[in-house]
Amino acid sequence: MKRDGHTHTHYCLHGSGEETEAFIIKAIQEGFGMYSLTEHLPLPKKFLAATPYSQEFEESIDFDSYIRDMQKLKKKYKDRIKILIGAEVDYLPEVQEYTRMILNEYGPYFEDSILSVHFIKGTKGWRCVDYNIQDYQEGLMEYYTTYEQVHRGYYRTVKEALQADLGKYKPKRIGHLTICRKFQLHFDPQGLQRQAAGDQVLDLLVYMREHGYSLDMNVAGLFKEECLETYVPQWVVQTAKKLEIPMVYGSDAHAVQEVGRAYDVYEKMISI
Ligand code: ZN
Ligand code: FE
């Protein structure tokens, strides 16, 4: 059965703003039988204050009404598609008590969720790995000094995320594990770092297998002009397969037209 395990909704502040219902109708048209709504959990002010982005990320969504709205849609379409309600949960170093608290509050309503690392330590506090090239340059390249070291810093944080005690509602699927490669064609135009920090990636995969985690096989990177690669790339898919780590397709759709994108690429990659 076709399943999309990573999507956003009209609640997303950096999405297209189109109605979630239109995303769901598109998923039905594309033949999906299962569809996870994984909106970003709000970030705490305390964390934002320790980033240079407090202005950009200032607005926050009403998660109660998100859950209520999604429950209505789930019911409305229950005969046509199985909708799973959940969230994309950020691993936020140093504010784990917040994440534990918010997961304890909303976790009982979640049916499928993702744990993602978007922020790691960098220049002037916590920095996004997927914001833009200039931000990556200033926040991460200048802090870690080499592109490979940025990867190492990212994967260290993912390891922390895997080991963190976030309570019983901690998601068991890791979002876009290699998103630190989003600007690879800019920072590594010759592809010399195609398997950067591969030893750490292997270590993460082994840990994931031992602790029952699955992988978000996220195709969003294919559509970023500085990436043109899935998160995770083929060499990681291969290893994950050997280790029998379940992989779930994720469109990471932020717009209706992105629902179900590159599903054929995903199918091909996991069949090799
Ligand atoms: Zn994400
Ligand atoms: Fe996402």
Question: Which tokens belong to 218?
Answer: 């996220």
* 30 has a pLDDT exceeding 90: yes
Quote the pLDDT of residue 101.
Answer: 96
Quote the pLDDT of residue 142.
Answer: 98
Question: Which tokens belong to 55?
Answer: 């202005």
* 60 has a pLDDT exceeding 90: no
Q: 7 C-alpha vs ligand 2 centroid, how far in Å?
A: 6
CA-CA-CA-CA torsion for 253, 254, 258, 264, nearest 10 degrees? -20
Quote the pLDDT of residue 258.
Answer: 98
Whether 42 and 60 have beta carbons less than 8 Å apart is answered as yes
Percentage of the chain lying above the pLDDT 70 cut: 100
* 92 has a pLDDT exceeding 90: yes
Quote the pLDDT of residue 154.
Answer: 98
* 75 has a pLDDT exceeding 90: yes
* 56 has a pLDDT exceeding 90: no
Q: 88 C-alpha vs ligand 2 centroid, how far in Å?
A: 6
Q: If you average pLDDT over every residue of the chain, what do you get?
A: 97
Q: 176 C-alpha vs ligand 1 centroid, how far in Å?
A: 7
Strands of 18-167 (E only): list them.
32-40, 82-90, 114-116, 119-122, 125-128
* Predicted confidence (pLDDT) per residue in 240-259, tens digit: 999 999 999 999 999 999 99
Q: 80 C-alpha vs ligand 2 centroid, how far in Å?
A: 24
Q: 11 C-alpha vs ligand 1 centroid, how far in Å?
A: 14
* Ion ligand 1: residues, Cβ under 5 Å: 116
Question: Which tokens belong to 263?
Answer: 């599903």
Q: 33 C-alpha vs ligand 2 centroid, how far in Å?
A: 20
Q: Which ligand is nearest to the CA of 7?
A: 2
Helices 198-210 and 147-163: angle between axes, nearest 10 degrees: 10
* 195 has a pLDDT exceeding 90: yes
What 161-168 contacts at long range (C-beta under 8 Å, 24+ apart), as own/partner pairs, is: 161/91, 161/115, 161/117, 162/204, 162/207, 162/208, 162/211, 162/213, 164/91, 164/96, 165/96, 165/100, 166/89, 166/91, 166/96, 166/99, 166/100, 166/103, 166/115, 167/100, 167/103, 167/104, 167/107, 168/107
Quote the pLDDT of residue 163.
Answer: 98
Q: 81 C-alpha vs ligand 1 centroid, how far in Å?
A: 24
Q: 151 C-alpha vs ligand 1 centroid, how far in Å?
A: 17
Percentage of the chain lying above the pLDDT 90 cut: 95
Whether 259 and 23 have beta carbons less than 8 Å apart is answered as yes
Distances 76 to 9, 38, 81, 137, 144 between C-alpha atoms, Å: 16, 18, 10, 46, 49
